[in-house]
Structure 1
Amino acid sequence: MLAAERQARIQREVEHRGAVRVSELARLLNVSDMTIRRDLDTLAAQGGLAKVHGGATVTGGGRASTDEPGFEAKAAQQTAEKEAIAAAAAALVRPGSAIGLSAGTTTWTLAHHLRDVPGLTVVTNSMRIADVLHGAGAAAPNVVLTGGVRTPSDALVGPVAVSSLRLLHLDLVFLGVHGMNARAGFTTPNLHEADTDQALVAAGQRVVVLADHTKWGIVGISTIVPLDQADVVVSDEGLSEEARTMIGESGADLVIAPYRPAGDGYVRTG
């Protein structure tokens, strides 16, 4: 395979999946890690992707600011990272507390870790999260589901959702985001979802943002909150040093959820 053909295949993989590791590309294309790294250097110089530690992601310009993938498409991306992030975030939840979960696939993954937490009350604008918690049996948390209009990513948003959230007071809010960077903060591609997430954030005493490493550099059309409004950011070990520095300088506590390759998939470590 010629270098140009290999690089075109790499570009397609990154655009389709959002992020790909060097080791995955090397196995897929049957070349060395060093060859893949050189290809990534070339593609990054052309602006086709962004290099990160251990792999590559789509660039900030690789997704339109209003591009809103459906729930199923997002759920299939970065599953190992989301699982590791969810497990780390679940450790922050105390029995008997009242928490908020925004809609999203990472918060949906977190919900699976919360089904057995005693005395928990969960406020969410996600029907999928409500379904996960409702099916937990006798120990299921008490779930408060906001109303609202359904988005392509299965969030309930709009004036009804905002009105219901304005009356609530929560111990912790877990916020999933479409993208994040130093200038725009934490963003979403949906204007109504931004309003709803802002109301959810305002209801919480502490805000925990859940975002895998591919979200850095992605900018949605609307800012939910700036970086300095997060008390904690939970991400994975693929997060770039630049992102770690920027998040640290914002004042947020950064929690890195580690995992390691295991065959064709990933398992968490730690």
Structure 2
Amino acid sequence: MLARQRQAAILERVRATGGVRVTELAAEFGVSDMTIRRDLDTLHEQGVLAKVHGGATTTGPGSTHEPGFHAKSVRQLPEKAAIAARAAELVRPGAAVALSAGTTTAELARRLVDVPGLTVVTNSLPVAEILHAGDRTDQTVVLTGGVRTPSDALVGPLAVAAIRSLHLDLLFLGVHGISERAGFTTPNLMEAETDRALVAAADRLVVLADHTKWGTVGISSIVELSAADVLVTDDRLDPQARQVLDERVGELVVVAGAGTTSRSAPGRAPAPDRGPGRVAAPTREGTAE
């Protein structure tokens, strides 16, 4: 196959699925990873796709554009792994927690497989599959049901009805975008309603979002910034954004390769430890530059 033919096939695949991985394309076309990366470089320079760590995705998302789970799963992998690892420290054995749909919450699910006694409520098919594969008899996984979205979330009236009867210690919420004006947003109207039900059911809200979410605005707001008790992000977050979030969220936790930065917003102390089976507030550490 000529390079131009291979690149056309790659572009068609990206447009059909929303995202591709270098390793998968190399195996499919019988070429090296380096050859695929050169193809992606060419297509990226043409502006027809966006290169990300380990692959490529579609370009030009608008406020209603909703990438598939596979497309999002190849973006910001190191940041998501660090965020998930830090978030897992907030979970105690025996807690009742909720994980919303998203690739960062899926990363968190992989780190919760070995936590004993958990009850996990989720509207994410990938999260449920990850926890089910752990095969722990002392964990309970509750899948809400509902209408499936492109990001493998279950949403709509059935999901909302199931969630409204629950009382949860902690919600880990993945979001599509964050802005000072719109707060935490999603490109799916029904997913926003389902996420709001999860927020209402939980004692505490922890938002998981890498730096690329800042400035992205989906069509529907989930909650305002001040609703977040904790926001876990990475150290590539814009300094101006960090200042805004410091002032608005209860606790801003910024993870880096070798440590974390944790700050409380003025006038908003972290919630106290709620006792056995509940989730403690994150430990405040010194600033790490």
**TM-score over 0.5 (shorter chain):** yes
Report the CA distance between 1:248 and its aligned residue. Answer: 1.0
Name structure 2 gaps, 5 residues minimum: 1-40, 54-58, 259-287
Give 3-state SS (helix, strand or coil) of 1:94's partner.
Answer: coil
The runs of at least 4 consecutive aligned structure 1 residues that moved more than 3 Å come to: 8-13
CA separation in 1, counterparts of 2:158 and 2:44?
A: 45
Cα deviation per residue 1:143-189 (whole Å; 9 max; x = unaligned)? 00001000000000000000000010000000000000100000000
Task: Please give the TM-score of this superposition, normalised by the length of structure 1.
Answer: 0.75
Structure 2 counterparts to residues 79-158 of structure 1, below 5 A: 79-138=77-136, 141-158=139-156
Q: 1:259 to 1:228 in 2, by over 3 A?
A: same
Q: Pick one of 244, 247, 251 that aligns with 2:245.
A: 247
Is contact 1:149-1:157 (8 Å) kept?
yes
1:139 Cα deviation after fit: 5.2
Partners in 1 of 2:193 and 2:169 — Cα distance? Answer: 20
Q: What corresponds to 1:32 in structure 2?
A: none
SS where residue 222 of structure 2 aligns? strand
Deviations 1:72-110, CA, capped at 9 Å, x for gaps: 000000011000000000000011000000000000010
Please give the alpha-carbon distance, in whole angstroms, between the structure 1 residues aligned to 2:257 and 2:234: 8
| Distance (Å, rounded) in 2 between the aligned partners of 1:192 and 1:84 | 29
Query: Is 2:50 the partner of 1:16?
Result: yes
Q: Deviations over 1:32-75 (max 9, x none)?
A: xxxxxxxxxxxxxxxxxxxxxxxxxxx9xx53000100000000
Shift of 1:205: 0.3
My pick for the range that moved more, 156-165 or 248-257, is: 248-257
Which runs of 5 or more residues in structure 1 are unaligned? 1-5, 21-58, 261-268
Q: Deviations over 1:93-136 (max 9, x none)?
A: 01100000000000001000000101100000011111100111
- 1 or 2 for the larger relative contact order (CA 8 Å, sep ≥6)? 1
CA 1:140–1:78: 2 relative to 1, 3 Å: farther
**Deviation of residue 9 (structure 1)?**
5.6
What amino acid does structure 1 have at the position aligned with 2:97?
A: I
Secondary structure in 2 matching 1:134: helix
- Partner amino acid, structure 2, of 1:115: V
Alpha-carbon distance, 1:17 to partner: 4.0
Whole-Å Cα distance in 2 between the matches of residues 16 and 140 of structure 1? 42
TM alignment of 1:197-236, pairs within 5 A: 197-236=195-234
2:173 is the counterpart of 1:167: no
Aligned twin of 2:271: none
Aligned mates of 2:240, 2:176 — CA distance in 1: 19
Distance 1:200 1:251, change over 3 A: same
Report if the CA contact (8 A) 2:231-2:252 is conserved: yes
Cα 1:158–1:239 shift into 2, 3 Å: same
TM-score normalised by structure 2 residue count: 0.70
Coordinate RMSD, CA, aligned:
2.4
Equivalent pair of 2:44/2:51 in contact (CA under 8 Å)? no
Structure 2: distance between partners of 1:65 and 1:117 = 37
